Amino acid sequence: MREFTVPVERLVEHFRKLPGIGIKSAQRLAFHILNMPREEAQDFADAILSARETVTRCKICQNLTDRDECVLCSDPARDHSLICVVSDPRDVAAIERTREYNGVYHVLHGVLSPLAHIGPDDLTVRELTLRVGHGDIRELIMATNPDTEGEATAVYLSRLLKPLGVKITRLAYGIPVGGHLEFADEITLSRALDGRQLMD
């Protein structure tokens, strides 16, 4: 049954197709648009088009950018021999927020997932292999998520790229800073024990 006038229903349907948006939220969002100043709705529509049209992948690290090479890859102050491999552009943003890392990145745009039929060809594995093969890469830091698929992806890449003679490391597992031992799950705890370090 159609509950609202056609243009409203159409907008609700679009919002509803977005991840994490149910029917009630979709309606609330659509009504919000209807009550927006006209210029703001215009600018929103334009932002959608412009993002979809102008955003592309950096030809080096595959991160999202609106130019040929992203700001990080074209920054001479970064260490281009150190590559941090992540699954998602948001992971780049998370690591940049630490202000601790001065290398560059490689964005896989996903993880290997046999169940979802996502294989190496669906990720930017070929681009990474070419980078390691051609450039003076000193170290690859695997920074995929510490879950089954992220782990499997890191292991796969490590086996694929080690023969090219590059050092491969991965982020440390452990208790989150500020976390409580009693609330840590067993796997995290046992990884934290395995990875224990000398105190100095």
Interface residue with a copy of itself, options 68, 79, 81, 90 (CB under 8 A): 90
**Is 198 an interacting residue with respect to a copy of itself (CB under 8 A)?**
no
Q: At 72, which amino acid appears?
A: L
**Is 28 an interacting residue with respect to a copy of itself (CB under 8 A)?**
yes
Helix (H) or strand (E) holding 142: strand 139-142
Contact region for a copy of itself (CB under 8 A) — 33-41, 136-144, 149-157, 180-188? 33-41
Q: What is the DSSP letter of 166?
A: -
Taking alpha carbons only, the member of 109, 50, 101 closest to residue 79 is 101
**Is 66 an interacting residue with respect to a copy of itself (CB under 8 A)?**
yes
**Is 48 an interacting residue with respect to a copy of itself (CB under 8 A)?**
yes
Is the separation of the CB atoms in 174 and 188 below 8 Å? yes
Is the separation of the CB atoms in 123 and 80 below 8 Å? no
Q: Which residues bind a copy of itself (CB under 8 A)?
A: 1, 3-8, 10-11, 13-14, 18-21, 25, 27-34, 36, 38, 41-55, 64-66, 70-71, 88-90, 93, 96-97
